[in-house]
Amino acid sequence: MSSASNLEELYLWESNLSGNIPDSISNVSKLRILSLQENSFYGLIPDTLGNLRFLEIFYLWSNHLTTKTSTHEWSFLYSLANCRYLRILDLSFNPLNGILPTSISNLSTSLEQLWVIDCKIRGSIPMEIGSLSKAILLDLSSNKLSGPIPTTIGRLKHLQLLNLYRNKLQGSIPHDLCGLKGLYKLSLGANELDGLLPTCLCDLTSLRYLYLFSNKLHSQIPLSFWSLKDILEVDLSSNNLSGSLPLNIGNLKVLISLNLSRNLLLSDIPSTIGSLQDLQVLNLSRNRLQGPIPKSLGDLMSLKSLDLSNNNLSGVIPKSLEKLYDLNYFNVSFNRLEGEIPSGGPFLNFTAKSFMKNYALCGSPRLQVSPCKNKIHPKFKKTALHALRYVFPTFASIIIVVAVIIVYKKGQRGNMNLATVEDLIPLKKRRRISYNQLLQGTGGFSGNNLLGSGSFGSVYKGILSDGTEVAIKVFNLQIDEAFKSFDTECEVMRIILHRNLVKVVTCCSTIDFKALVLEFMPNGSLEKWLYSCNYVLDILQRINIMIDVASALEYLHLGHPIPIIHCDLKPSNVLLDEDMVAHVGDFGIAKLLGEGDSIKQTMTLATVGYMAPGIFSFF
């Protein structure tokens, strides 16, 4: 090396060299650039490098260099302090170990770039790092650094890139970083940072890339954050950020990638997100977002990946998304979506995984969802829906009333002395079910099985030992009227039996527990089928339901010597079994056995003769 004393640049990178770096290399005293990266050098970095007083660029990355096993001291840094012109130092991907020494402050004040990636260094970042006043780039990522981020980094006024990714740093993000006006990229992801997201981040007007993912940040996203109109990529995923997405998210006009997944964000997705014309990646998965998917997402013509899974989104998947021909990843699974899955554009390539676990999606069998009803012309469909929703219920009610009056009048003329029905099931022949069986069948009366509740009690769904599904009406015995209600209903239910009345399987009564076990109706109430856009009844089904209800009323009024008047007939009290046969019942979600409802649900079935609606005002 002594013969090359006038050499200024030495490039030996990726040359399959191994062994120790010879001390004699320091004899090339005029060397400005020394490039030894991507070899197999091992051992210590020579302490004699300080003789290279003109050294400006020193690359050692991707070797096997270490420090002294006993002390793990970086003694070579003291020597490099003599290299007053050193601008770039890259020690990355060497198992140096040890602690980043305070002597780092002795490096050249001309140092612009310091790369120490994946060198297995531990301990804290020394406060003295703030002495590197000319630093433009500082990358200490993928190490084992702990403790807080030094506030002295805020002194590095020329810094454009700060990368502390994948360490074990703790504490909050220092507000001092907001003074780095030239910062272009800030990467603090995969640490243990907590506290609030600094409101002063909006001062970093040069920022283009912000990565704070996989920390423990727990504030709301400051409203001022959305004023970073020139930012390109934002990743705040896997934190505990809360609050809502504001309308001014649309200010980030040049944004390419936005990842807010795995947080606690609430509210709707703002429609202004459709103004992010350059957006390629949008990930809002695993939050608590609700409301519809904005149609304006169909305006994101550059979008390649869209993940909205694991939220509480409802409504339909907008057909406007069919225009996104560059979209190659789409996931809306685990939401409450309904309606037809779009079939055009990129949707031709998506699989069932994109749509699984939703409320009522329908579409192609290959997507493992229910088939949609026959398609109707949109204008006709809209008109028909309005007719079915507003006109038909009124029309149906009129028909039911007329039918009841006709049947009642007919019964008065020809059946005044109708004999008692002989085929009733005696109470002693009803099935006997113990309290323990009900306890087991409802999972200990778990809230997950609760169908409805009121001031007199609650209704639970249960499964008996033979697999029979039942509805269990449990009375609240802390209320005096509940005892009378239970006794009255048991007596009335004992004497009625009809295919269009909800069947009482049995009752269960102890000193401190009273319940009725009723037939379970898997298709819910008629109200759901009439007023929800997710369920459809054809004209034949509607007529059959009207006939079923009229038949039940005829039986209640004329089926035995004592007429029974329901007095609260409405769609929510008409229940449908698995074959869509209607059964008149007296319980409903959130109305069962309420104080006012005890008249409608207990006395209504037990009242002799006619009870006018006005009588309710006296109770």
Residue numbers annotated as active site? 568
Side chain identity, residue 306:
L
Cα–Cα distance measured from residue 26 to residue 46, given in angstroms and rounded to the nearest whole number: 9
Provide φ and ψ at 283, rounded to 5°: -130, 110
* Beta strand pairing call for 582-584 and 574-576: antiparallel
The DSSP H or E segment spanning 211 is strand 209-211
Q: Please, where are the H alpha helices in 4-156?
A: 76-80
How far is it, in rounded angstroms, from Cα 526 to Cα 545? 9
- Concatenating the DSSP letter of every residue in 537-589 gives --HHHHHHHHHHHHHHHHHHHHSSSS-B------GGGEEE-TT--EEE-S--T
Tell me how many degrees the CA angle 610-614-618 measures, rounded to the nearest 5. 105
Q: What is the dihedral of CA 74, 75, 76, 77, to 10 degrees?
A: 70
Question: Of 35, 41, 27, 38, whose CA–CA distance to 9 is shortest?
Answer: 35
Q: Which two tokens stand for residue 279?
A: 């957006």
Q: Determine contact, residues 336/311, Cβ cutoff 8 Å.
A: no
Residue 124 contacts residue 102 (beta carbons within 8 Å): no
3-state SS assignment for residue 178 = helix
Would the annotation count 295 as a binding residue? Answer: no
Rg (CA), the chain: 38
Q: For residues 438 and 448, give the distance between their C-alpha atoms in angstroms, rounded to a whole number.
A: 15
Cα atoms found within 13 Å of the Cα of residue 123, Cβ hemisphere only: 13
Angle at which helix 392-414 crosses helix 539-558, to 10 degrees, equals 30
DSSP 268-296: PPPGGGGG-TT--EEE--SS--EEPPPGG
Q: Look at residues 333, 294, 338 and name the one whose alpha carbon lies nearest to residue 315.
A: 338
Nearest to 586 by CA among 449, 492, 487, 447: 492
Side-chain-facing half-sphere of 139: CA atoms under 13 Å: 20
DSSP state of 520: -
Instruction: Kindly report the backbone phi and psi dihedral angles of residue 142, in degrees, each rounded to the nearest multiple of 5, phi listed first.
Output: 60, 50
- Rounded-to-integer distance, Cα 617 and Cα 619, Å: 6
